[in-house]
Structure 1
Amino acid sequence: MRPINILYFLLPFLGVSQLQEKDAIANKLFVCYGKVNPELITGYDLVILESEHYTSSEIAIFNRNNTKVAAYISLTEVNEYASFYKEMAPYTLGKNGIWNSRFIDIKNKKAQEVLLKVINKIKQKGIEGLFLDNLDNVSQWGNLRNQKEEFIALLKRIKVENKNLFLVQNSGLFLAKELKNITNSIVVESVVSAYDFAKKEYAIRDINTQREIVKNLRQAKKIAKKPIYIIEYAETSRMKKMISREAKKIDFSVFVAQIDLQSIPKFKM
């Protein structure tokens, strides 16, 4: 799982020519953190977007044309471009230099209140789902590994105070049991693909690594008993087709896009 570097600026609406070709396994999930024309995004089971780019009327279009719509939020990191960055900064514990973000001190009650205000702002736009990023920060390898229990307690509080809120977790398979009755679905990145950030190159994972990841996914699905979606990354149409073919073999819904997730996918020939 990688932290998402969200850019808080408005992109121009993207044209119909940039829509990716849908197929039976790829039309369930759509993810984009840039601004797109909401009229172009239709028929998806789950749409994940950056709520700051849209008005309430635009969110209504997404809601009308798709089954579920979830807004991006990280409960463990705050990006320097976030509208609430200055408010949250005093309650952070260190910097993630790769993504220009800071780790949130989840134990701090004031930090929790800031996050709850952000969630209320999202809900006021008509969004009834949250895409929870950076859960792996509270894993045994994460920078907030000592705040796992506080993180789970915060999620429980969010669920209790927002009965109709649809929660989507990004990765965090190690929390499958704890979040069984809290989150509604799971998204996992890069099962088949493997982007090299140092070289800025797209690649395919070796088959043994793929099998190990798929094994973990199936175990998590058995425990959690909820839908699992996959986000994969590709630059060319050839690689996109290869990823889609492999995804069909493992029977998970897949969305293939470019690594920045800032636009409707458009692949090079």
Structure 2
Amino acid sequence: MVTLLFAVFAKAQHTPVVPSTFVVCYGKVYPSQLSGIELAIVEPGHYDEKGVKRLKATGARILAYLSLTEINTAHPKFRRLRSYCVQRNENWNSYYIDIGNPAAQDILVEHAKDLMKLGYDGLFFDNLDNTNLWGKLSHQQQELEYLVQRLRDHFPKTTFVQNGGFHLSKETQNKTDYVLVESVVTTYDFKNQRYLIRDYEDFLQRLALIEKYQQTYNKPVLAVEYQKDNTKHKLIRRRLEGFSTSVFITTIDLQEIPKQG
């Protein structure tokens, strides 16, 4: 998502508390489902201001999903952003956004402001890895970093969770409070629609990279693993024992909150 220079690199203004339990769900979440949950990342299209208030009344911190480099065709801002889209993502029926275009960035910032007016405790930044070396927007890393800077300037005390984004600069890493990592133990075969457990060596390599990142930036880690077979939950959690993180196990569509084994 022109070389852009940052005048000020401000670190998040508060120390994040590591949640012992968290969920990510893009289907509609009801307050009764958040019993014992400390942090929930939700799809904001399901809630108005009263709905957000009801979720927050459970005691959980409620964060709104915000994709910074892609937009789904069902998104309320899709019509306005369609002319700034450059390619389709066939896996998710979404489009990559040319975030080097100032008008596209303005729409995304405006959307973030609209979400925060509803009372959310923070924002979850998705699809950052589209700007890494292998991403469709690999040439727009600096533009993405500028967008994150803009959002931090607008919301200096808001909780930001980044999904991946290990490739981003140190200055940008210091603007978010948590990092979410996906599929450390598990993986999903989109072609054959199969849930898999990674080879142990593959798992160890991924874990080592995440631990190095955690040590470098001293940032709390949230881990999401994808698995449909509940009997494998113990294996997933056992592999992550000793790693300082909260773990949520769910299905690839993220439409429900499965029972955690």
Q: TM-score range by the shorter chain?
A: 0.7 to 0.9
Is 1:126 aligned with 2:119?
yes
Deviation at residue 122 of structure 1 after TM alignment: 0.7
Deviation at residue 160 of structure 1 after TM alignment: 0.7
RMSD: 1.9
Deviation at residue 45 of structure 1 after TM alignment: 3.2
Runs of 4+ in 1 over 3 A off after TM superposition: none
* Superposition pairs of residues 75-224 of structure 1, within 5 angstroms: 75-175=68-168, 177-224=170-217
Hey, what's the Cα distance between the residues in 2 that align with 1:179 and 1:222?
16
Match 1:68 to one of 61, 86, 109: 61
Deviation at residue 98 of structure 1 after TM alignment: 2.0
Is 1:244 aligned with 2:237?
yes
Residues 87 and 95 in structure 2, CA contact (< 8 A), matched pair in contact too: yes
Residues 19 and 39 in structure 2, CA contact (< 8 A), matched pair in contact too: no
Hey, what's the Cα distance between the residues in 1 that align with 2:171 and 2:37?
28
Is 1:45 aligned with 2:38?
yes
Hey, what's the Cα distance between the residues in 2 that align with 1:242 and 1:96?
32
| Percent of aligned positions that are identical | 35
Is 1:265 aligned with 2:258?
yes
Residues 28 and 253 in structure 1, CA contact (< 8 A), matched pair in contact too: yes
* 1:225 maps to amino acid: N
The equivalent residue for 1:14 is: none
Residues 30 and 55 in structure 2, CA contact (< 8 A), matched pair in contact too: no
Residues 76 and 103 in structure 1, CA contact (< 8 A), matched pair in contact too: yes
- Distance of aligned partners of 1:27 and 1:260 in 2 relative to their CA distance in 1, 3 Å threshold: farther
After superposition, the C-alpha distances for 1:196-230 in whole angstroms (9 at most, x for unaligned) are 11111111101111111111111111122111010
Looking at secondary structure, tell me which structure has more strand per residue: 2
* 1:102 maps to amino acid: Y
Residues 180 and 225 in structure 1, CA contact (< 8 A), matched pair in contact too: no
Hey, what's the Cα distance between the residues in 1 that align with 2:203 and 2:169?
20
Deviation at residue 114 of structure 1 after TM alignment: 0.8
* 1:144 maps to amino acid: L
Deviation at residue 171 of structure 1 after TM alignment: 0.8
SS of the counterpart of 2:194?
A: coil
- How many matched pairs? 244
| TM-score normalised by structure 1 residue count | 0.85
| TM-score normalised by structure 2 residue count | 0.88
Moved more, 93-102 or 258-267: 258-267
Residues 29 and 42 in structure 2, CA contact (< 8 A), matched pair in contact too: no
Hey, what's the Cα distance between the residues in 2 that align with 1:248 and 1:64?
32
- Distance of aligned partners of 1:235 and 1:138 in 2 relative to their CA distance in 1, 3 Å threshold: same
SS of the counterpart of 2:114?
A: helix
SS of the counterpart of 1:195?
A: strand
Moved more, 122-131 or 66-75: 66-75
* 1:120 maps to amino acid: K
SS of the counterpart of 2:23?
A: strand
* 1:55 maps to amino acid: D
In structure 1, runs of 5+ residues without a counterpart are 1-24
Deviation at residue 131 of structure 1 after TM alignment: 0.7
Is 1:231 aligned with 2:218?
no
SS of the counterpart of 1:43?
A: coil
SS of the counterpart of 1:260?
A: coil
SS of the counterpart of 1:263?
A: coil
Deviation at residue 65 of structure 1 after TM alignment: 2.4
Deviation at residue 82 of structure 1 after TM alignment: 0.8
In structure 2, runs of 5+ residues without a counterpart are 1-17
* 2:111 maps to amino acid: V
Hey, what's the Cα distance between the residues in 2 that align with 1:162 and 1:35?
26
